[in-house]
Homo-oligomer: A and B are copies of this chain.
Amino acid sequence: MQKVCYDDSSLKSLISPDVYTSFADQLEAVETMLNKKTGPGNDFLGWLELPEEHSPSFLDSIQKQADDARQQCDVFICVGIGGSYLGAKAAIEFLSSTFPQQRTPEVLFAGHHVNSDYLKDLLSHIEGKRVIVNVISKSGTTTEPGITFRVLRKWMEDAYGQEEAARRIIATTDPEKGALRKLAERNGYRTFDIPDNVGGRFSVLTPVGLLPIAVAGIDIKELVSGAREAMKYCSGTDLTTNIAARYGVNRNCLLREGKTIEMLAAFQPQFTFVNEWWKQLFGESEGKDRTGIFPASVVYTTDLHSMGQWMQEGLRTIFETFLRVDETRETVEVPHFEDNEDNLGYLVGKSFEYVNEKAYEGTLKAHRDGGVPAATITVADRSADSLGQLFYFFEKTCAYSAYLLRVNPFNQPGVEAYKKNMFAFLGKPGFEDFE
C-alpha cells in the first residue's frame, strides 16, 4: 500500500504553467536515462533496483547476524561517516523510542568526527559492557573512521584478547579490494559487502544501513518491502502518479524562479535525522557546477520559535517542503484543570496530534501568505514500511531533480578538495608537494 503522499496543490498557482510544462516535457528523457542507464554517473545506479534484488536469504543472513549481535552485546558501535552513518542513524531515530535508556542494545556511532572528548566519553560509557564494533568503509582508509577504528580495535583487543575481539568486529566494506577487506581477511572479521554500484548517500538499503538497523530491532524485511512498494509509484512519466518525478519537477521550477533554498520542515521530532540524511542526499547530489538548491531543515513546532520569524518575513529566496506523519503511535490528550489559569481549557480532551495538525495547517497558510511556496509530504505512520517508502521516494526524486538540473547526481568531486589540503597539512606521504 502506498504510504507516502505528496500534496503540492498549494504550489500550483505559484509556479508558471509554462515553466512547469517545459520541465515536465523533459521528464521522458530523464526517465529513459535512468531506465537505460545512459545518463552521467550511470555506474552508480545500483540503488534503483536494490529493493527488488535483495533475496529473502540475503536479508535472512543479515537478520541472523543482527539477532546474534542482539544477544551478544549491550552496545553496538558503528564506525563510519557520511553515507556510512546517516542512513542507519535516520532509521533508528525515526523508529525507536526516544530515550537511549529505552533501547537494547544501544546502537552508537563513532568515527563520524574527530574529537577526543566524544571518544573518551564513549570509552567510559562502554566500560564493563559487552561491545560489538561494526566498521563501515568502502576503502578502509577514510581518515575519520580509520583513526577511530584504530582506537576501538585497540580497546577491543585489550578488553577481549585478539581472538574474541576479532569475533566481535564486523566489517562492512568492498566485496573484493581495499584496506578494510584485507584487514578483515587477515584477522578473520565477519564481513558484509558494499555493492560497487551504490554510492554512500544511496546506501541505506545495503548492509551499510541494514545491519545496524536490524541490530536496533527494526524489521528490515518490512523496510525493504516498503522501498519495493515505492518503486511502483515512483516511476513512469505520468506526473499524477509518479510523485517523485513531480517533486523533482517542482524543485526545478522553484529554483528557476529564484527560490534557492529548500526548507524541509518536519512536524515530528522523530524526523530529525531523516532531515540530516535528506540534506546529504540532495546537497551532495545537486550542489555542483555552481548550482543546486541549498538544502536546509527544521523541526516544527520547535523551530517555529526560532526560524519561524525568518520563514515568515525574511528574504523571499526560499520554498518549503513539510514532512509529517499521519498517525503517531501514541495519543496523549490535554487534561482538564478546574482553574483553567492558562486559558487552554478549550483544548481539553483534544489530542496533541489534533493540536499539531492545526499548527501545521496554520503554518502552511501563514507561510504561503508570507510568500513561501510550500508542499507537503505525508508519511502514513512510524513504521519500517513507511520509512522504506520514504527513503526510496527521496532517492528517486533526487535522481529526477538532479538530471533535470543537468548535473551528475552520483559523483561528489568537491568532497576531495578539503581532504587534499588536509593531507598536505598532515604531511601524508605523496601529498608533500600539494598546495
Contact = CB atoms under 8 A, between A and B. Distances in A.
A218 interface: no
A237 interface: no
Given A283-B314, A301-B114, A425 B146 contact: no
Interface string A83-125: 1011000000000011111100000000011111111111011
Contacts of A413: 309, 313
Interface string A313-355: 1111110000000001111101101010111101100111101
A280 interface: yes
A277 to B, nearest CB: 8
Given A122-B98, A421-B366, A147 B355 contact: yes
A130 interface: no
B421 A113 contact: no
Contacts of A241: none
Contact of A280 (B141, B305, B337): B305
Contacts of A329: 116-117, 120
Interface in A200-248: 200-201
Contacts of A188: none
A353 B102 contact: no
A429 to B, nearest CB: 6
B335 A310 contact: no
Given A294-B314, A342-B140, A344-B146, A421 B114 contact: no
A406 to B, nearest CB: 14
Nearest to A270: B117
Nearest to A149: B342
**In the A-B complex, the 4 residue pairs with the closest CB atoms:** A287-B310, A82-B305, A312-B414, A362-B421
Interface of A: 81-83, 85-86, 97-102, 112-122, 124-125, 140-141, 143-144, 146-147, 149-151, 153-154, 179-180, 182-183, 186, 200-201, 260-261, 268-270, 276, 279-280, 283-284, 286-292, 294-296, 299-302, 304-318, 328-332, 334-335, 337, 339, 341-344, 346-347, 350-353, 355-356, 358-359, 361-363, 365-367, 369-370, 382, 412-415, 417-429
